A and B are shown apart, each in its own frame.
Chain A
Amino acid sequence: MASSQGKKRISATSNEQSLITRVSRSVSQSPIVHQSKRAASDAAFVLKKLIRSTGKAAWIVGTTFLILVVPLIIEMDREQQLNDLELQQASLLGTPK
Protein backbone atom coordinates (compact mmCIF):
# COMPACT_ATOMS: atom_id res chain seq x y z
CA MET A 1 0.00 0.00 0.00
CA ALA A 2 2.71 2.33 0.95
CA SER A 3 4.56 1.41 -2.17
CA SER A 4 1.56 2.13 -4.36
CA GLN A 5 1.04 5.40 -2.55
CA GLY A 6 4.66 6.05 -2.99
CA LYS A 7 4.38 5.29 -6.67
CA LYS A 8 1.48 7.62 -6.96
CA ARG A 9 3.31 10.31 -5.08
CA ILE A 10 6.25 9.88 -7.40
CA SER A 11 4.04 10.12 -10.47
CA ALA A 12 2.24 13.10 -8.91
CA THR A 13 5.37 15.03 -8.46
CA SER A 14 6.63 14.11 -11.89
CA ASN A 15 3.66 15.27 -14.03
CA GLU A 16 1.66 18.48 -14.15
CA GLN A 17 -1.51 16.77 -13.11
CA SER A 18 -1.68 13.88 -10.74
CA LEU A 19 -2.88 10.50 -11.79
CA ILE A 20 -6.00 10.76 -9.68
CA THR A 21 -6.88 14.09 -11.21
CA ARG A 22 -6.25 12.80 -14.70
CA VAL A 23 -8.29 9.65 -14.13
CA SER A 24 -11.18 11.42 -12.51
CA ARG A 25 -11.14 14.14 -15.13
CA SER A 26 -11.10 11.62 -17.91
CA VAL A 27 -14.10 9.97 -16.35
CA SER A 28 -16.06 13.08 -15.55
CA GLN A 29 -15.33 14.94 -18.77
CA SER A 30 -15.95 12.04 -21.05
CA PRO A 31 -18.70 12.39 -23.59
CA ILE A 32 -20.59 9.47 -22.18
CA VAL A 33 -20.95 11.11 -18.82
CA HIS A 34 -22.06 14.38 -20.42
CA GLN A 35 -24.68 12.65 -22.43
CA SER A 36 -25.98 10.64 -19.56
CA LYS A 37 -26.22 13.77 -17.42
CA ARG A 38 -28.16 15.55 -20.13
CA ALA A 39 -30.42 12.53 -20.49
CA ALA A 40 -31.01 12.43 -16.76
CA SER A 41 -31.93 16.11 -16.59
CA ASP A 42 -34.20 15.74 -19.60
CA ALA A 43 -35.85 12.77 -18.01
CA ALA A 44 -36.35 14.67 -14.78
CA PHE A 45 -37.85 17.60 -16.68
CA VAL A 46 -40.21 15.37 -18.62
CA LEU A 47 -41.18 13.47 -15.51
CA LYS A 48 -41.99 16.69 -13.67
CA LYS A 49 -44.11 17.89 -16.57
CA LEU A 50 -45.84 14.55 -16.77
CA ILE A 51 -46.68 14.57 -13.10
CA ARG A 52 -47.96 18.12 -13.31
CA SER A 53 -50.14 17.44 -16.34
CA THR A 54 -51.42 14.21 -14.86
CA GLY A 55 -52.31 16.14 -11.74
CA LYS A 56 -54.16 18.78 -13.76
CA ALA A 57 -55.99 16.17 -15.79
CA ALA A 58 -56.93 14.28 -12.66
CA TRP A 59 -58.31 17.47 -11.14
CA ILE A 60 -60.39 18.28 -14.21
CA VAL A 61 -61.70 14.77 -14.56
CA GLY A 62 -62.39 14.50 -10.85
CA THR A 63 -64.35 17.72 -10.51
CA THR A 64 -66.29 17.09 -13.70
CA PHE A 65 -67.15 13.61 -12.49
CA LEU A 66 -68.30 15.10 -9.21
CA ILE A 67 -70.62 17.53 -10.93
CA LEU A 68 -72.00 15.28 -13.64
CA VAL A 69 -72.06 11.78 -12.28
CA VAL A 70 -72.43 11.90 -8.50
CA PRO A 71 -75.89 13.57 -8.44
CA LEU A 72 -77.00 11.09 -11.06
CA ILE A 73 -75.94 8.15 -8.94
CA ILE A 74 -77.61 9.61 -5.88
CA GLU A 75 -80.87 10.24 -7.69
CA MET A 76 -80.93 6.87 -9.36
CA ASP A 77 -80.34 5.25 -6.01
CA ARG A 78 -83.26 7.18 -4.50
CA GLU A 79 -85.46 6.18 -7.40
CA GLN A 80 -84.49 2.58 -6.85
CA GLN A 81 -85.31 2.83 -3.15
CA LEU A 82 -88.67 4.38 -3.94
CA ASN A 83 -89.41 1.60 -6.41
CA ASP A 84 -88.46 -1.06 -3.88
CA LEU A 85 -90.65 0.56 -1.26
CA GLU A 86 -93.58 0.69 -3.62
CA LEU A 87 -93.07 -2.89 -4.67
CA GLN A 88 -92.91 -3.97 -1.06
CA GLN A 89 -96.02 -2.02 -0.18
CA ALA A 90 -97.84 -3.37 -3.20
CA SER A 91 -96.99 -6.94 -2.26
CA LEU A 92 -97.90 -6.34 1.41
CA LEU A 93 -101.21 -4.64 0.85
CA GLY A 94 -102.00 -6.63 -2.23
CA THR A 95 -102.82 -3.62 -4.40
CA PRO A 96 -103.55 -4.69 -7.95
CA LYS A 97 -101.12 -2.42 -9.82
Chain B
Amino acid sequence: MATALNVPPTAPVTTPQQMKKEEEKVDYLNLPCPIPYEEIHREALMSLKPELFEGMRFDFNKGLSPKFSLSHSVFMGPMEIPSQSSETIKIPTAHYEFGANFIDPKLMLFGRILTDGRLNARLKCDLTENLTLKANAQLSSEPHMSHGMATFDYKGKDYRSQFQLGNGALFGANYIQSVTPHLSFGGEVFWAGQHRKSGIGYAARYNTEKMVATGQVASTGLVALSYVQKVSEKVSLASDFMYNYMSRDVTASFGYDYILRQCRLRGKIDSNGVAAAFLEERLNMGLNFILSAELDHSKKDYKFGFGLTVGE
Protein backbone atom coordinates (compact mmCIF):
# COMPACT_ATOMS: atom_id res chain seq x y z
CA MET B 1 0.00 0.00 0.00
CA ALA B 2 1.06 3.56 -0.38
CA THR B 3 3.16 4.91 2.39
CA ALA B 4 2.18 8.05 4.19
CA LEU B 5 1.89 10.86 1.69
CA ASN B 6 1.68 14.54 2.26
CA VAL B 7 -1.29 15.65 4.21
CA PRO B 8 -3.76 17.83 2.24
CA PRO B 9 -2.70 21.30 3.28
CA THR B 10 -5.18 23.79 4.57
CA ALA B 11 -3.16 26.62 3.03
CA PRO B 12 -4.40 27.99 -0.32
CA VAL B 13 -1.60 26.32 -2.28
CA THR B 14 -2.68 22.87 -3.43
CA THR B 15 -0.04 20.28 -4.18
CA PRO B 16 -0.29 18.05 -7.25
CA GLN B 17 -0.65 15.05 -4.98
CA GLN B 18 -3.90 16.43 -3.73
CA MET B 19 -5.28 16.69 -7.23
CA LYS B 20 -4.95 12.96 -7.81
CA LYS B 21 -7.64 10.95 -6.11
CA GLU B 22 -5.26 8.50 -4.51
CA GLU B 23 -5.79 6.90 -1.20
CA GLU B 24 -3.81 8.95 1.24
CA LYS B 25 -2.86 7.89 4.67
CA VAL B 26 -2.95 10.71 7.14
CA ASP B 27 0.45 11.49 8.50
CA TYR B 28 -0.28 12.24 12.11
CA LEU B 29 3.19 13.54 12.71
CA ASN B 30 2.91 16.16 10.04
CA LEU B 31 -0.30 18.02 10.81
CA PRO B 32 -0.72 21.65 9.84
CA CYS B 33 -0.52 24.41 12.37
CA PRO B 34 -3.97 25.41 13.56
CA ILE B 35 -5.59 28.82 13.48
CA PRO B 36 -5.06 30.94 16.61
CA TYR B 37 -7.69 30.36 19.26
CA GLU B 38 -9.23 33.81 19.09
CA GLU B 39 -9.60 33.55 15.34
CA ILE B 40 -11.47 30.30 15.44
CA HIS B 41 -14.66 31.95 14.27
CA ARG B 42 -12.78 34.06 11.74
CA GLU B 43 -14.65 33.12 8.58
CA ALA B 44 -18.03 33.45 10.21
CA LEU B 45 -17.12 36.78 11.74
CA MET B 46 -15.81 38.14 8.47
CA SER B 47 -19.06 37.36 6.72
CA LEU B 48 -21.54 38.01 9.45
CA LYS B 49 -20.11 40.91 11.34
CA PRO B 50 -19.08 43.71 9.03
CA GLU B 51 -18.26 47.04 10.61
CA LEU B 52 -21.66 48.62 10.35
CA PHE B 53 -21.75 52.28 11.16
CA GLU B 54 -24.14 55.19 11.07
CA GLY B 55 -23.20 58.53 9.63
CA MET B 56 -20.34 59.55 7.42
CA ARG B 57 -16.89 58.07 7.46
CA PHE B 58 -13.83 59.14 5.55
CA ASP B 59 -10.48 57.34 5.77
CA PHE B 60 -7.28 58.38 4.13
CA ASN B 61 -4.18 56.20 4.24
CA LYS B 62 -0.94 57.62 3.01
CA GLY B 63 2.19 55.54 2.73
CA LEU B 64 5.30 57.50 3.40
CA SER B 65 7.70 54.65 2.88
CA PRO B 66 7.29 50.89 2.30
CA LYS B 67 7.08 50.31 6.02
CA PHE B 68 5.58 53.44 7.45
CA SER B 69 2.19 54.95 6.77
CA LEU B 70 -0.08 57.58 8.23
CA SER B 71 -3.82 57.55 8.38
CA HIS B 72 -6.38 60.29 8.80
CA SER B 73 -9.97 59.49 9.52
CA VAL B 74 -13.06 61.64 10.00
CA PHE B 75 -16.31 60.38 11.41
CA MET B 76 -19.53 62.35 11.81
CA GLY B 77 -22.68 60.76 12.99
CA PRO B 78 -24.84 59.78 15.92
CA MET B 79 -23.30 57.65 18.62
CA GLU B 80 -25.47 55.50 20.82
CA ILE B 81 -25.35 55.97 24.53
CA PRO B 82 -26.33 52.90 26.51
CA SER B 83 -29.35 53.88 28.54
CA GLN B 84 -31.37 52.10 31.16
CA SER B 85 -34.70 52.54 29.42
CA SER B 86 -35.56 50.67 26.28
CA GLU B 87 -35.21 53.83 24.18
CA THR B 88 -31.84 54.23 22.54
CA ILE B 89 -30.35 57.67 22.98
CA LYS B 90 -28.29 58.93 20.10
CA ILE B 91 -26.03 61.91 20.37
CA PRO B 92 -24.48 63.41 17.25
CA THR B 93 -20.71 63.39 17.51
CA ALA B 94 -17.87 64.08 15.19
CA HIS B 95 -14.25 63.17 15.60
CA TYR B 96 -10.98 63.11 13.75
CA GLU B 97 -8.50 60.34 14.25
CA PHE B 98 -4.84 60.43 13.37
CA GLY B 99 -2.83 57.29 13.16
CA ALA B 100 0.56 55.95 12.25
CA ASN B 101 1.53 52.40 11.29
CA PHE B 102 4.93 50.82 11.08
CA ILE B 103 4.93 47.39 9.46
CA ASP B 104 7.99 45.20 9.38
CA PRO B 105 8.04 41.39 9.12
CA LYS B 106 9.26 41.19 12.70
CA LEU B 107 7.70 44.23 14.28
CA MET B 108 4.41 45.93 13.76
CA LEU B 109 3.42 49.15 15.55
CA PHE B 110 0.08 50.78 15.28
CA GLY B 111 -1.12 53.94 17.00
CA ARG B 112 -4.28 55.98 16.83
CA ILE B 113 -5.32 59.12 18.61
CA LEU B 114 -8.76 60.68 18.56
CA THR B 115 -9.91 64.22 19.17
CA ASP B 116 -11.94 63.14 22.16
CA GLY B 117 -8.79 62.22 24.00
CA ARG B 118 -8.50 58.49 23.44
CA LEU B 119 -5.24 56.85 22.47
CA ASN B 120 -5.10 53.37 21.05
CA ALA B 121 -1.78 51.59 20.56
CA ARG B 122 -0.91 48.08 19.38
CA LEU B 123 2.35 46.25 19.13
CA LYS B 124 3.18 42.90 17.58
CA CYS B 125 6.73 41.67 17.84
CA ASP B 126 8.33 38.34 16.90
CA LEU B 127 10.74 37.71 19.73
CA THR B 128 11.98 34.46 18.26
CA GLU B 129 10.71 32.43 15.35
CA ASN B 130 7.99 30.79 17.37
CA LEU B 131 7.33 33.26 20.15
CA THR B 132 5.34 36.40 19.47
CA LEU B 133 4.49 39.24 21.80
CA LYS B 134 1.35 41.24 21.17
CA ALA B 135 0.31 44.15 23.32
CA ASN B 136 -2.42 46.71 23.13
CA ALA B 137 -3.32 49.67 25.23
CA GLN B 138 -6.23 52.07 25.29
CA LEU B 139 -5.77 55.25 27.21
CA SER B 140 -8.63 57.57 27.80
CA SER B 141 -9.10 60.90 29.49
CA GLU B 142 -11.93 59.50 31.57
CA PRO B 143 -10.73 58.00 34.83
CA HIS B 144 -10.73 54.23 35.19
CA MET B 145 -11.38 53.68 31.52
CA SER B 146 -7.83 52.93 30.44
CA HIS B 147 -6.69 49.40 29.98
CA GLY B 148 -3.89 47.43 28.49
CA MET B 149 -3.22 43.83 27.64
CA ALA B 150 -0.13 41.83 26.69
CA THR B 151 -0.18 38.44 25.02
CA PHE B 152 2.59 35.90 24.54
CA ASP B 153 1.99 33.41 21.72
CA TYR B 154 3.98 30.28 21.22
CA LYS B 155 3.55 28.46 17.94
CA GLY B 156 4.53 24.82 17.93
CA LYS B 157 4.53 22.36 15.06
CA ASP B 158 0.86 21.53 15.25
CA TYR B 159 -0.31 23.48 18.24
CA ARG B 160 -0.49 27.01 19.49
CA SER B 161 -0.56 28.29 23.01
CA GLN B 162 -1.12 31.75 24.34
CA PHE B 163 -0.81 33.51 27.66
CA GLN B 164 -2.51 36.84 28.31
CA LEU B 165 -1.99 39.46 30.99
CA GLY B 166 -4.20 42.46 31.37
CA ASN B 167 -4.49 45.31 33.79
CA GLY B 168 -6.94 44.84 36.59
CA ALA B 169 -5.39 41.43 37.30
CA LEU B 170 -6.71 39.75 34.19
CA PHE B 171 -4.98 36.49 33.32
CA GLY B 172 -5.83 34.16 30.50
CA ALA B 173 -4.35 31.19 28.72
CA ASN B 174 -5.46 29.17 25.77
CA TYR B 175 -4.21 26.21 23.78
CA ILE B 176 -5.27 24.76 20.46
CA GLN B 177 -4.10 21.55 18.86
CA SER B 178 -4.56 20.04 15.41
CA VAL B 179 -5.94 16.54 15.78
CA THR B 180 -6.43 15.58 12.16
CA PRO B 181 -5.65 17.63 9.06
CA HIS B 182 -9.15 19.03 9.20
CA LEU B 183 -10.05 19.06 12.87
CA SER B 184 -8.59 21.02 15.73
CA PHE B 185 -9.56 21.30 19.37
CA GLY B 186 -8.74 23.99 21.85
CA GLY B 187 -9.42 25.20 25.35
CA GLU B 188 -9.01 28.36 27.34
CA VAL B 189 -9.07 29.54 30.95
CA PHE B 190 -9.22 33.06 32.28
CA TRP B 191 -9.29 34.75 35.64
CA ALA B 192 -10.43 38.32 36.22
CA GLY B 193 -9.24 39.62 39.55
CA GLN B 194 -11.24 42.79 39.61
CA HIS B 195 -14.57 41.08 39.21
CA ARG B 196 -13.46 37.86 40.89
CA LYS B 197 -14.60 35.81 37.96
CA SER B 198 -12.97 32.87 36.31
CA GLY B 199 -13.98 30.78 33.40
CA ILE B 200 -13.04 27.90 31.21
CA GLY B 201 -14.02 27.23 27.66
CA TYR B 202 -13.56 24.71 24.86
CA ALA B 203 -13.65 25.10 21.12
CA ALA B 204 -13.50 22.85 18.09
CA ARG B 205 -13.03 23.64 14.45
CA TYR B 206 -13.48 21.44 11.43
CA ASN B 207 -12.53 22.82 8.10
CA THR B 208 -12.19 21.55 4.59
CA GLU B 209 -11.59 23.68 1.56
CA LYS B 210 -15.26 24.23 1.02
CA MET B 211 -16.59 24.69 4.49
CA VAL B 212 -15.69 25.60 8.03
CA ALA B 213 -17.67 24.49 11.06
CA THR B 214 -16.79 25.68 14.53
CA GLY B 215 -18.26 25.24 17.97
CA GLN B 216 -17.41 26.93 21.23
CA VAL B 217 -18.63 26.45 24.78
CA ALA B 218 -17.64 28.64 27.71
CA SER B 219 -18.46 28.57 31.39
CA THR B 220 -19.70 32.15 31.17
CA GLY B 221 -22.74 30.57 29.60
CA LEU B 222 -21.93 31.00 25.97
CA VAL B 223 -22.50 28.33 23.37
CA ALA B 224 -21.63 29.42 19.85
CA LEU B 225 -21.81 27.33 16.71
CA SER B 226 -21.08 28.55 13.24
CA TYR B 227 -20.96 27.12 9.76
CA VAL B 228 -19.54 28.76 6.65
CA GLN B 229 -19.85 27.21 3.22
CA LYS B 230 -17.88 28.45 0.27
CA VAL B 231 -20.33 28.00 -2.54
CA SER B 232 -18.01 29.26 -5.24
CA GLU B 233 -14.85 31.32 -5.23
CA LYS B 234 -16.88 34.51 -5.23
CA VAL B 235 -19.73 33.58 -2.92
CA SER B 236 -19.83 32.22 0.56
CA LEU B 237 -22.75 31.70 2.88
CA ALA B 238 -22.50 31.71 6.64
CA SER B 239 -24.76 30.90 9.54
CA ASP B 240 -24.27 31.36 13.23
CA PHE B 241 -26.07 30.25 16.37
CA MET B 242 -25.43 31.74 19.80
CA TYR B 243 -27.02 30.60 22.99
CA ASN B 244 -26.35 31.89 26.47
CA TYR B 245 -27.58 29.37 28.98
CA MET B 246 -27.25 31.79 31.88
CA SER B 247 -29.37 34.55 30.45
CA ARG B 248 -31.44 32.34 28.11
CA ASP B 249 -30.63 34.46 25.15
CA VAL B 250 -30.74 32.88 21.71
CA THR B 251 -29.67 34.40 18.43
CA ALA B 252 -29.38 32.82 15.03
CA SER B 253 -28.21 34.63 11.95
CA PHE B 254 -27.66 33.90 8.29
CA GLY B 255 -25.56 35.86 5.91
CA TYR B 256 -23.96 35.95 2.52
CA ASP B 257 -20.67 37.35 1.32
CA TYR B 258 -20.15 38.12 -2.35
CA ILE B 259 -16.62 39.04 -3.34
CA LEU B 260 -16.79 40.31 -6.89
CA ARG B 261 -14.15 42.12 -8.83
CA GLN B 262 -15.51 45.58 -8.30
CA CYS B 263 -17.13 45.23 -4.94
CA ARG B 264 -17.67 43.22 -1.81
CA LEU B 265 -21.22 42.86 -0.60
CA ARG B 266 -22.17 41.31 2.72
CA GLY B 267 -25.72 40.88 3.91
CA LYS B 268 -27.17 39.26 6.97
CA ILE B 269 -30.46 38.62 8.65
CA ASP B 270 -30.92 37.84 12.28
CA SER B 271 -33.46 36.20 14.54
CA ASN B 272 -33.71 39.45 16.54
CA GLY B 273 -35.34 40.99 13.49
CA VAL B 274 -32.25 42.80 12.26
CA ALA B 275 -31.31 42.92 8.60
CA ALA B 276 -28.01 44.48 7.66
CA ALA B 277 -25.98 45.00 4.53
CA PHE B 278 -22.50 46.35 3.89
CA LEU B 279 -21.17 47.25 0.47
CA GLU B 280 -17.63 48.22 -0.45
CA GLU B 281 -17.36 49.33 -4.01
CA ARG B 282 -14.15 50.06 -5.80
CA LEU B 283 -14.64 53.24 -7.75
CA ASN B 284 -11.09 53.65 -8.87
CA MET B 285 -7.62 52.48 -7.96
CA GLY B 286 -7.28 53.06 -4.25
CA LEU B 287 -10.72 54.64 -3.91
CA ASN B 288 -13.43 52.69 -2.18
CA PHE B 289 -16.98 53.73 -1.53
CA ILE B 290 -18.70 52.21 1.50
CA LEU B 291 -22.40 51.91 2.21
CA SER B 292 -23.81 50.42 5.35
CA ALA B 293 -27.44 49.77 6.28
CA GLU B 294 -28.99 48.20 9.34
CA LEU B 295 -32.71 47.77 9.89
CA ASP B 296 -33.85 46.70 13.33
CA HIS B 297 -37.53 45.89 12.88
CA SER B 298 -38.17 44.97 16.48
CA LYS B 299 -36.81 48.19 17.94
CA LYS B 300 -37.68 50.28 14.89
CA ASP B 301 -34.15 51.63 14.77
CA TYR B 302 -32.78 52.23 11.28
CA LYS B 303 -29.17 53.14 10.67
CA PHE B 304 -27.56 54.09 7.41
CA GLY B 305 -24.04 55.18 6.72
CA PHE B 306 -21.84 56.06 3.84
CA GLY B 307 -18.15 56.64 3.51
CA LEU B 308 -15.10 56.82 1.38
CA THR B 309 -11.72 55.14 1.82
CA VAL B 310 -8.76 56.54 0.01
CA GLY B 311 -5.41 54.85 -0.13
CA GLU B 312 -4.18 51.28 -0.16
Which residues on A are within 8 Å of B, measured CB to CB? 60, 63-64, 67-68, 71-72, 75-76, 78-79, 82
Which 6 A-B residue pairings sit nearest by Cβ, starting from the closest? A68-B267, A64-B275, A79-B260, A67-B277, A67-B293, A75-B263
Question: Is the interface on chain B under 10, 10 to 19, 20 to 34, or 35 or more residues?
Answer: 10 to 19
List chain A residues, Cβ under 8 A from B281: 75
List chain B residues, Cβ under 8 A from A75: 258, 260, 262-263, 265, 279, 281
List chain A residues, Cβ under 8 A from B40: none
- The answer, among B265, B293, B297, for a CB contact under 8 Å with A72, is B265
List chain A residues, Cβ under 8 A from B275: 63-64, 67-68
Asked whether B225 is an interface residue with its Cβ less than 8 Å from the other chain, the reply is: no
List chain A residues, Cβ under 8 A from B295: 63-64, 67
Asked whether B228 is an interface residue with its Cβ less than 8 Å from the other chain, the reply is: no
Question: Cα distance A75–B262 when bound, in Å?
Answer: 8
Taking a contact as CB atoms under 8 Å apart, the answer to whether A78 and B277 are in contact is no
Taking a contact as CB atoms under 8 Å apart, the answer to whether A72 and B267 are in contact is yes
Given contacts A60-B297, A63-B295, A75-B258, contact A68 B263 (CB under 8 A): no
Name the distance in Å between A23's Cβ and chain B's nearest Cβ. 56
Near A by CB (< 8 A), chain B positions 277-303 give 277, 279, 281, 291, 293, 295, 297
Residue of chain A at shortest CB distance from B262: A78
Which residues on B are within 8 Å of A, measured CB to CB? 256, 258, 260-263, 265, 267, 269, 275-277, 279, 281, 291, 293, 295, 297
Name the distance in Å between B231's Cβ and chain A's nearest Cβ. 14
Question: Cα distance A78–B260 when bound, in Å?
Answer: 10
Name the distance in Å between B301's Cβ and chain A's nearest Cβ. 13
29 A–B pairs (Cβ distance < 8 Å), ordered by A: A60-B297, A63-B275, A64-B275, A64-B295, A67-B275, A67-B277, A67-B295, A68-B275, A68-B277, A71-B265, A71-B267, A72-B256, A72-B258, A72-B265, A72-B267, A75-B262, A75-B263, A75-B265, A75-B279, A75-B281, A76-B258, A76-B260, A78-B262, A78-B263, A79-B260, A79-B261, A79-B262, A82-B261, A82-B262
Question: Cα distance A61–B293 when bound, in Å?
Answer: 15
List chain B residues, Cβ under 8 A from A68: 267, 269, 275, 277
List chain B residues, Cβ under 8 A from A67: 267, 275-277, 293, 295
